[in-house]
């Protein structure tokens, strides 16, 4: 009886897998937690004017930087009007499904010493007043930049840069901020000051002077690591090594500047190498226009899918993560008793950085009958590291069927598109499994 039953089943050699075309698709990906951003600044004592934002609503950006200037309250606590204005600003962008890079500052003109409070207790009071409002929109906050102090909120030129004051502000964020969003400080040395044990958490970096000079206008120091303390600024070479490791688990981004020596020292290749080492996820799309113009003129000359494209287009497409299905192979069962095959996916992250949130990777098997079954794969998308290929083994039932791959971000329930050809549901068609017997 058993032998007779096996004769009714296709032999394992009768099964075939026809791989789909997995070439890279250069269309723009509107994926979360990466890309270009614009800056919108609000003085919280004033009724917010949203008209400038409405003009940009249809351009496909997923990120926005919101700067909240609280300088009008340097001598007092925030009042109910300011708190409600902050709430309405965050609500405006959240309803439009932007992810927000948030910066709170007393100054956006480079005059922090004039506009910051006299007493540090006022700074801490403001932070404690603002955090409950920010927490209401935690699902839409990508990065909380800075610690409220310094020119433009960039943690320099302030009376409150003493290590004990910085640690107190960081402690408030650690204890009173909601889970779900990241933090960032202006330099690696500040990160090390706030992390004496070197343990990573949800704090990354922001650099608003990338390429502005050899040391990114003071972001880096001049001394070697071995000649410096843990919380001092190291030379650029060693700081980039530090950032390359740190920003495996938290994002990095900011602004690029055309420094005096940029054209003499940099090329398309060296520019991309720096952005890769820093694991840059997001950049200002309006500053520095001179440098962005150079990137639009320079061509990417490496022999890959992007050869001949502008450096600007290459950088735009590689900010953050960029997942590409490189190969799919099917391994047939070794026994006729097995009614499943193993599919091996090879996925390369060709982007500058990683994806830092949890997400479901879903394989769908669509039978000839129209029945679709889906399974969440046992893989952690946060481990799909920039510049690496990850192999994902999957057991699938032997069925005449088409296979599709997709990713759904748990935060915000947004799809994450691969850099392959995709259908209207953002699924990558992997291939067809068929019995030829």
Mapped to the 3 state alphabet, what secondary structure does 183-241 carry? Answer: EEECCHHHHHHHCCCCCCCCEEEEEEEECCCCCCCCCCECCCHHHCCCCCCCEHHHHHH
Write phi, then psi, for 302 (nearest 5 degrees): -75, 145
Q: Render pLDDT for 268-307 as a digit per residue (tens, 0 to 9).
A: 999 999 999 999 999 999 999 999 999 999 999 999 999 9
Beta bridge partners of 432: 18, 402
Averaged pLDDT, 371-400? 95
Rounded to whole angstroms, how far apart are CA atoms 170 and 159?
16
Rounded to whole angstroms, how far apart are CA atoms 317 and 35?
8
Secondary structure class of 143 (helix, strand, coil): strand
Q: Render pLDDT for 63-105 as a digit per residue (tens, 0 to 9).
A: 999 999 999 999 999 999 999 999 999 999 999 999 999 999 9
Give the pair of three-digit tokens for residue 334: 């070794």
In this predicted structure, what is the pLDDT of residue 2?
45
Averaged pLDDT, 23-34? 95
Secondary structure class of 6 (helix, strand, coil): helix
Cα angle for residues 183, 389, 314 (degrees, 5° grid):
65
Beta bridge partners of 329: 344
Q: What is the pTM of this model?
A: 0.95
Rounded to whole angstroms, how far apart are CA atoms 240 and 257?
17
In this predicted structure, what is the pLDDT of residue 332?
81
Q: Render pLDDT for 160-181 as a digit per residue (tens, 0 to 9).
A: 999 999 999 999 999 999 999 9
Q: Render pLDDT for 237-264 as a digit per residue (tens, 0 to 9).
A: 999 999 999 999 999 999 999 999 999 9
What sign results for the dihedral spanned by CA atoms 110, 116, 118, 124? negative
- Please, which residues have CB within 8 angstroms of residue 432's CB and are 6 or more apart in sequence? 17, 18, 20, 401, 402, 403
Q: Render pLDDT for 40-63 as a digit per residue (tens, 0 to 9).
A: 999 999 999 998 887 766 577 899
């Amino acid at each position: 009886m058993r032998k007779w039953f096996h004769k009714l089943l296709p032999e394992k050699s009768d099964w075939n897998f026809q791989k789909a075309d997995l070439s890279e698709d250069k269309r723009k990906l509107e994926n979360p937690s990466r890309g270009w951003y614009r800056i919108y600044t609000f003085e919280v004592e004033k009724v917010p004017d949203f008209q400038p934002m409405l003009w940009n609503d249809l351009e496909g950006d997923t990120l926005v930087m919101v700067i909240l200037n609280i300088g009008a309250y340097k001598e007092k606590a925030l009042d109910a009007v300011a708190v409600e204005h902050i709430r309405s600003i965050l609500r405006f962008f959240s309803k439009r499904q932007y992810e927000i890079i948030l910066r709170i500052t007393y100054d956006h003109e480079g005059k922090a010493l004039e506009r910051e409070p006299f007493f540090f207790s006022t700074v801490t009071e403001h932070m404690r007043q603002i955090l409950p409002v920010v927490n209401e929109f935690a699902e839409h906050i990508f990065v909380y930049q800075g610690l409220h102090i310094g020119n433009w909120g960039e943690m320099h030129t302030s009376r409150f840069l003493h290590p004990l004051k910085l640690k107190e502000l960081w402690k408030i964020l650690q204890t009173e901020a909601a889970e779900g969003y990241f933090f960032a400080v202006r330099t690696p040395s500040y990160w090390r000051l706030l992390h004496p044990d070197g343990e990573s958490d949800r704090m990354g970096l922001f650099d608003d002077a990338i390429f502005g000079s050899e040391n990114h206008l003071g972001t880096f120091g001049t001394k070697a690591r071995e000649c410096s303390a843990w919380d001092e600024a190291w030379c650029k070479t060693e700081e980039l090594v530090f950032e390359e490791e740190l920003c495996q688990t938290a994002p990095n981004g900011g602004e690029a500047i055309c420094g005096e020596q940029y054209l003499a020292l940099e090329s398309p290749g060296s520019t991309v190498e720096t952005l890769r080492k820093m694991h840059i996820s997001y950049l200002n799309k309006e500053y520095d226009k001179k440098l962005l113009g150079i990137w639009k003129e320079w061509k990417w000359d490496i022999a890959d899918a992007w050869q001949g494209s502008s450096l600007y287009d290459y950088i735009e497409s590689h900010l953050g993560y960029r997942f590409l299905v490189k190969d799919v192979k099917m391994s047939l069962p070794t026994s006729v008793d097995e009614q499943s095959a193993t599919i091996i996916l090879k996925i390369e992250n060709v982007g500058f950085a990683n994806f830092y949130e949890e997400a479901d990777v879903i394989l769908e098997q669509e039978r000839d009958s129209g029945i679709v079954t889906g399974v969440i794969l046992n893989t952690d998308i946060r481990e799909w590291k920039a510049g690496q290929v990850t192999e994902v083994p999957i057991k699938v039932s032997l069925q005449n069927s088409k296979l599709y791959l997709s990713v759904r971000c748990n935060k915000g329930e947004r799809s994450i598109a691969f850099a392959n050809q995709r259908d209207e549901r953002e699924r990558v068609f992997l291939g067809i499994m068929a019995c030829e017997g």
